[in-house]
Structure 1
Amino acid sequence: MKFSKEDILNIFKLNIENNSFIKAVFSNSKNTTEYKKINIKPLIIKGEIRIQFEQFKENKAFHSNLSVEETFNYLDNILDNFKQILIINSSEEIQILQNKKGFSVKNKKTDTKQVSLSHNKKKNYILEDNTPIPFLIKLGVMSNDGHVSKEKFNKFRQINRYLEFIEDTLKELQDKKLIDNSMKIVDFGCGKSYLTFALYHYLKNIKNMNIEIIGLDLKDDVIKHCNEIAKELEFTNLSFLKGDIKDFNSFKNVDMIFSLHACNNATDYSILKGLELGAKAILAVPCCQSEINQKIDKSKTTELKNSLSPFGNHGILQERFSSLATDALRALALELCGFNTKVMEFIDMEHTPKNILIKAIKGNISEEKLSEKKAEYDRYLKFLGVDPLIDTILKDYFLK
């Protein structure tokens, strides 16, 4: 049986108006279509039902929240553009296919649970609020009954965001057969070690892994305090050492290194040490990337004074450009060392301006791809017109 466009619109209207609608997916678009895929779902915003459209174009997602009336008008415009539509409601899946003769509809009974429509639904954290966690209590993030105060919630959120990155990294390492159920990890510049303790708790108490973790810092009092807490919490195989990154040699064959807010070139030395130790994963959140900015000031060939002079003519813009340029160079250099890299947001800007995370996982790179990356790297250095430290110290680790 063939269905008309009006019939399909009525299916949407029936599902949305009786509050059984959960989501719909438009796929297999026609060549003339601007968006290649569209997801829609209902939301409640300020007490009113809205339909959220998530539309994909060139690997980018565009979001809009429409009223029910606007939704029906928009659906009327886009129905002809997709050959396949899936509607999911609380009792069935409705598969809609379109060809030259019209639409066909196939129903399949399901038992899909209705999800919350709240646009501001509670975030599900790896470490939950109102659940006492000894290391968070000891560090003052939680009260004894497990409550996180308003003043400490940003720190609590940062810790959970960090663990989300660790969770993703762990899965990737295991999927690539780079680790099994044991890990050696170094945290360079651990400071007060909120994240180091969180890492130990997550891997040991939640994932039940065999782990050895060392936190390294230059401050005597910090190291002493952290070792005392680790002992009180009975976190065996977690220790804290005083020392410089460049001199660290307590581990061999490390699985992962983490560097949080290591200032300026300390991030570069953390990356270098990770390579020296054979790290399979390198996570770095850089800070105070001033080296390239200072060298651009003295460079006679940098494009910051030529084609990008609108940046170079203003100190604050050049400084911010240089910070991003530094981290882009680090990510590219790690790719030349045989890593797959991603640069992503660590936590929201409202909590700290130092929010870029460089994530590098050991991978395989073809000779052709390596050659392309090396050419890209050389062009980039020429464009910057500087001789950065990371180029000097990592050259020996570039794949040939």
Structure 2
Amino acid sequence: MKYNREQTEKLLKEFLENKILVKGVISNMKGNYEYTKVVIKPVLLKNNFFFQFEQFQNNKAYHSNLTTKESIEKISVLLDNFKQFMIFTTEGDYQILKGKNDFNVKVTRVSREITSLDHNKTKNYLLEDGTPIPFLIKLGVMGENGEVFKDSYNKFRQINKYLEFIDDTIKELKNKKLITDSVKVVDFGCGKSYLTFALHHYLKNIKEMKFTIIGLDLKKDVMEYCNKVAKELNCENLEFLTGNIKDFDKMKDVDIIFSLHACNNATDYALLKGLELNAKAILAVPCCQHEFNQKMSANKNSEFFAKENPIGKHGILLEKFTSVATDAFRAQALELCGFKTQVMEFIDMEHTPKNILIRAIKDKIKPEILEKKFVEYEVFKKFLGIEPILDELLKPYFLVKNK
């Protein structure tokens, strides 16, 4: 069915005014809009009705809650800048494709209800509060009846957030045909191994996949305890080893490596080991990042300090900047090694400041894109005026070299 611009805008306006929109996904940006994708959904905030616009740019999401009138005005702008609109309403699904002179509208009639609009509704977790889970009971997160202890709820949320990232990662690896129905995972710096045991439970009881999991940490007594717990819980294909990331050689051709809160350059060595093991996906949550701060502070002749720099004047701001710069540098380096990277929030800042997750999944990147990324990498390094350890470790795996 062909619609002109006026008819299309009127149709979308009716969805908003009648409050029958369930979700809208707007993509294929062809104009000058600053975002590449927009997702719309209705929400209730303090008993007031809004439409939430979630807009994406460079793997980051930006949210705004608009009134119906503001949303209609926003839709008009989006019609000028995007070519594809997937609109889901209580009455049907509408695929709207923008052509040269008109819009092609395809309608599939369905009947559905709008679920709770409460923005603060209870989170649906992969691991449910109230359902007894043996490893969580054993590790003191929940009681025998499955109720999560109040002082362990932050840990419970962190575990679930971790599993969400793992779930998304496995789905993407399968879609790219990098794995099938089996997976090999190494958890570097696993510590008390809440997340390692959660991964075992997830792969065995939720995904029902074949798997091998190894947890590695420097603390021998902790690893002995984890092996004891694994034996008591009959956790097959799960092993805990004592050792340094640099020396790990127990498994080859790993599918996923995970490194949580590895201090300072331990994260860099975890990334290197992931490349050495031919990992298809690398997930790292860095911690205690001192190297960039120390090296930048020691070189006041760099471009960063060349002019009056309001960040460099304040120690606490420089520390925060260098922490962000470190993770940006790591993400860019992994892209040069043939990975698609995302930097995202691991859990809410209110629970820990160490909340940045770098997720890298193997991808096919065009040579000209790699060249551009390499220039960005070198310019950034020159601006900071440092030679990071990561540069030395990962450069042999770069898919583009210095000319």
TM-score, scaled relative to structure 1: 0.85
Which AA in structure 1 matches 2:282?
I
Give the % identical residues: 57
Report the secondary structure of 1:361's partner residue.
Answer: strand
CA distance, structure 1, for counterparts of residue 103 and residue 275 of structure 2: 57
The equivalent residue for 1:366 is 366
The offset of 1:336, in angstroms, is 1.7
C-alpha distance after superposition, 1:177-233 (max 9, x if no partner): 211222221111100000000111111221111111111111122111100110011
The equivalent residue for 1:152 is 152
Q: Is the 8 A contact 2:95 2:106 kept in 1?
A: yes
CA distance, structure 1, for counterparts of residue 95 and residue 378 of structure 2: 51
The yes-or-no answer on 1:136 pairing with 2:136 is yes
CA distance, structure 1, for counterparts of residue 74 and residue 398 of structure 2: 53
The equivalent residue for 1:356 is 356
Which AA in structure 2 matches 1:266?
A
The yes-or-no answer on 1:324 pairing with 2:327 is no
Report the secondary structure of 2:310's partner residue.
Answer: helix
Q: Is the 8 A contact 1:96 1:103 kept in 2?
A: yes
CA distance, structure 1, for counterparts of residue 306 and residue 109 of structure 2: 64
Residues 180 and 73 from structure 1, CA distance in 2 versus in 1: closer, same or farther, beyond 3 angstroms? closer
CA distance, structure 2, for counterparts of residue 198 and residue 297 of structure 1: 41
CA distance, structure 2, for counterparts of residue 342 and residue 275 of structure 1: 17
The yes-or-no answer on 1:190 pairing with 2:182 is no
**Aligned runs of 1:1-400 on 2, under 5 Å?**
11=14, 15-16=18-19, 22=22, 41-48=41-48, 50-54=49-53, 56=55, 61-66=62-67, 71-72=68-69, 75=72, 82=79, 89-92=89-92, 109-307=109-307, 309-399=309-399, 400=401
The offset of 1:375, in angstroms, is 1.6
CA distance, structure 2, for counterparts of residue 270 and residue 32 of structure 1: 40
Which AA in structure 2 matches 1:382?
K
The offset of 1:334, in angstroms, is 1.3
Residues 23 and 368 from structure 1, CA distance in 2 versus in 1: closer, same or farther, beyond 3 angstroms? closer
Residues 325 and 130 from structure 1, CA distance in 2 versus in 1: closer, same or farther, beyond 3 angstroms? same
Which stretch shifts more, 244-253 or 154-163?
A: 244-253
CA distance, structure 2, for counterparts of residue 380 and residue 286 of structure 1: 20
CA distance, structure 1, for counterparts of residue 27 and residue 365 of structure 2: 32
Structure of higher CA gyration radius: 1
Q: Is the 8 A contact 1:336 1:373 kept in 2?
A: yes
CA distance, structure 2, for counterparts of residue 298 and residue 177 of structure 1: 46
CA distance, structure 2, for counterparts of residue 245 and residue 269 of structure 1: 7
Residues 179 and 30 from structure 1, CA distance in 2 versus in 1: closer, same or farther, beyond 3 angstroms? closer
C-alpha distance after superposition, 1:247-300 (max 9, x if no partner): 111111111111100000111111111111121111111001101110111114
C-alpha distance after superposition, 1:81-107 (max 9, x if no partner): 8489887553456899999xx999998
The offset of 1:117, in angstroms, is 2.1
Which AA in structure 2 matches 1:116?
S
CA distance, structure 2, for counterparts of residue 179 and residue 104 of structure 1: 38
Which stretch shifts more, 31-40 or 174-183?
A: 31-40
Consecutive unaligned residues of structure 1, counting only runs of 5 or more, are: none
Residues 297 and 77 from structure 1, CA distance in 2 versus in 1: closer, same or farther, beyond 3 angstroms? closer
Report the secondary structure of 1:381's partner residue.
Answer: helix
Residues 9 and 375 from structure 1, CA distance in 2 versus in 1: closer, same or farther, beyond 3 angstroms? closer
The offset of 1:357, in angstroms, is 0.8
TM-score, scaled relative to structure 2: 0.84
Report the secondary structure of 2:325's partner residue.
Answer: helix
Cα-Cα RMSD: 3.5
Q: Is the 8 A contact 1:305 1:313 kept in 2?
A: no
Residues 103 and 180 from structure 1, CA distance in 2 versus in 1: closer, same or farther, beyond 3 angstroms? closer
Q: Is the 8 A contact 1:257 1:279 kept in 2?
A: yes
Q: Is the 8 A contact 1:217 1:241 kept in 2?
A: yes
CA distance, structure 2, for counterparts of residue 30 and residue 326 of structure 1: 33
Residues 308 and 103 from structure 1, CA distance in 2 versus in 1: closer, same or farther, beyond 3 angstroms? same
Which AA in structure 1 matches 2:170?
L
Q: Is the 8 A contact 1:25 1:86 kept in 2?
A: yes
The offset of 1:369, in angstroms, is 2.2
The offset of 1:149, in angstroms, is 2.1
Q: Is the 8 A contact 1:89 1:112 kept in 2?
A: yes
Which AA in structure 1 matches 2:50?
I
Consecutive unaligned residues of structure 2, counting only runs of 5 or more, are: none
CA distance, structure 2, for counterparts of residue 170 and residue 327 of structure 1: 23
CA distance, structure 2, for counterparts of residue 6 and residue 312 of structure 1: 50
C-alpha distance after superposition, 1:131-152 (max 9, x if no partner): 1111111111111111112211
Which stretch shifts more, 109-118 or 227-236?
A: 109-118
Q: Is the 8 A contact 1:29 1:82 kept in 2?
A: no
CA distance, structure 2, for counterparts of residue 283 and residue 58 of structure 1: 21
The offset of 1:306, in angstroms, is 2.1
Q: How many pairs align?
A: 391
Which AA in structure 2 matches 1:187?
D
CA distance, structure 2, for counterparts of residue 246 and residue 86 of structure 1: 48
